[in-house]
Structure 1
Amino acid sequence: MSSLRATTVVGPLVAASFSAVLILSFPAGADDQGPGSSKGGKPVDEAPAGVRTTTTLPQRISVDNSSGKTSITATVKNEGTKESGGIRLLVVGFDGLTVKSIQGCDAIAKKDLPEGSNSGFSCPVGNLAAGASKSYSVDATFDLSKTGKICLPVQTGDGKKTFWQQGPVPFGTTNPSPNAPATPLLLGTDNKPVAPGGDELPRTGVGRDVLPLGAAGAALLAAGAAGLWWSGRRPQRQAG
């Protein structure tokens, strides 16, 4: 069990696209998730020589239509030739996608979440050897009457640098199945809401990807067509 306290998200986080593949596994619904994908990911701050961190999300997930529950496997990997040093993975939900729990990770306080995010967890990955990876089972809910996104930044342990960020990338379907037991959602697809009048729901775009931070008062700017800059107060150092 992690002894770390939830920390404030620090450093610029930038959304874009990247390409890498990693096979994921998850005990519940693994057959529905397909291979992992780094879609919507991009390096941000320069990593130390020989270190190359990436993340992957399943290409598809399945949402229970009665409960809204879903499971997502989030994986971080060091594809470099040297150890990563101490790093952490953040898992942040937006709009209809709410992250409920991740074993071994700490919830990010509501006041420390960026505007537009409804939930987030900080996972202390530690030092990843070259070629090593670590996967986290994410328990989440998805409100099918809304669009939903998820974001996976990889930061130094103190949050001062962000080596990589995947997202905010959407999960969704253009063919809702309200009468079925579950609705399959695809990575990189804007959700078509099930509720009446859903076609009029504002879609997430550049305006939603530029997330102003309230408490810290930092200025946030868009970076490209799908940019995101996200800053926060410096996290407290943890004892020993």
Structure 2
Amino acid sequence: MSSRRTTVIAGSLVTATFSAVMMLSTTAAADDQGPGSDKGGKAVDTAPEGVGLTTLLPEKISVDNSSKKTAITATVKNDGTAESGDIRLLVVGFDGLEVKGVKGCSAIPEGDLPKGSNSGFSCAVGNLAAGASTSYAVDATFDLGRAGKICLPVQTADGAKTYWQQGPVPFGTTNPSPNAPTTPLLLGTDNQPVAPGGDAPGAGGGELPRTGAAGREVLPLGAAGAGLLAAGAAGLWWSRRPREAARGA
């Protein structure tokens, strides 16, 4: 075998090996979100008999410190014994977490977003069979200088009822790493922002806002739904049916 042919073959093997390593690395990074969790979730309106709808968010995500980009997997599942009927999933961002896109879903118009949110998408799930689940790839950005939360309501297709709502639940870290390529964030953790200049704030920094708000506040969702209701320090918000709002008017 000539030395030239040997060199070409060796070069091809190196390229193939490098490509395989890159593919494995990419897959590992995409899947490295830990098991799904329904932390911060609560059943709201009574679902039809045999229907058990919940959502799952990854226990951890990673934010690119340069681009502020992150990826989140949002899952809706039916743990019941009956079909769900026609349902939809909303993916809504708050504060430092802004939802940029959800594959296969439509953006909620700015005028229909719940008060206090900065972005949102509506996903037409359709009829979810008993024991089935559907996952959506969420592209988002996270401003590490702020707190950030996400909310996943599961509603009837017309938004009249909300069977389940997860959040707004925070992602965050108490140990910011401004000089690292990425910062890992944990679900259900209030973010400790990085101060200007790349340093974590000292003891003199102001206290971060807690998830949820004291008292009861109706947040209109416009055409996307009936509204979100804050329920104290637990940080659980759920939709309020239109007929209840009308009765209280």
d(CA) in 2 for partners of 1:64 and 1:232?
Answer: 39
What are the equivalent positions in structure 2 for 1:83-94 lying under 5 Å apart? 83-94=83-94
Provide Cα deviations, 1:79-127, integer angstroms capped at 9, x if missing partner: 0001111100000000000000011100001111111100000000001
Aligned to 1:203: 209
Instruction: Tell me how far 1:170 sits from its aligned partner.
Output: 0.2
What secondary structure sits across from 1:207 in the alignment? coil
Structure 2, gaps ≥5 residues long: 1-25, 244-249
Tell me: higher relative CO, structure 1 or 2? Use CA pairs within 8 A at least 6 residues apart: 1
Provide Cα deviations, 1:199-240, integer angstroms capped at 9, x if missing partner: 325413443884533979x89754354353556989xxxxxx
Aligned to 2:237: 228
Identity between Structure 1 and Structure 2 (%): 70
What secondary structure sits across from 1:190 in the alignment? coil
Name the structure with the higher helix share: 2
d(CA) in 1 for partners of 2:133 and 2:228?
Answer: 31
Aligned to 1:46: 46
The code of the aligned residue for 1:212 comes to L
d(CA) in 1 for partners of 2:30 and 2:174?
Answer: 22
Corresponding position: 1:167 with 2:176: no
What are the equivalent positions in structure 2 for 1:1-240 lying under 5 Å apart? 27=27, 29-196=29-196, 197=201, 199-200=205-206, 202-207=208-213, 210=217, 212-213=219-220, 222-225=230-233, 226-228=235-237, 230=239
* Contact 1:92–1:151 under 8 Å retained in 2: yes
The alignment covers a number of residue pairs equal to 208
d(CA) in 2 for partners of 1:228 and 1:210?
Answer: 10
Structure 1, gaps ≥5 residues long: 1-25, 235-240
The code of the aligned residue for 2:237 comes to L
Higher Rg: 2
* Contact 1:213–1:230 under 8 Å retained in 2: no
Identify if the C-alpha distance between structure 1 residues 116 and 219 changes in structure 2 by more than 3 Å, giving closer, same or farther.
closer
Instruction: Tell me how far 1:189 sits from its aligned partner.
Output: 0.1
d(CA) in 2 for partners of 1:28 and 1:73?
Answer: 14
Normalised TM-score (structure 2): 0.76
d(CA) in 1 for partners of 2:151 and 2:212?
Answer: 15
d(CA) in 2 for partners of 1:80 and 1:214?
Answer: 28
Instruction: Tell me how far 1:130 sits from its aligned partner.
Output: 0.4
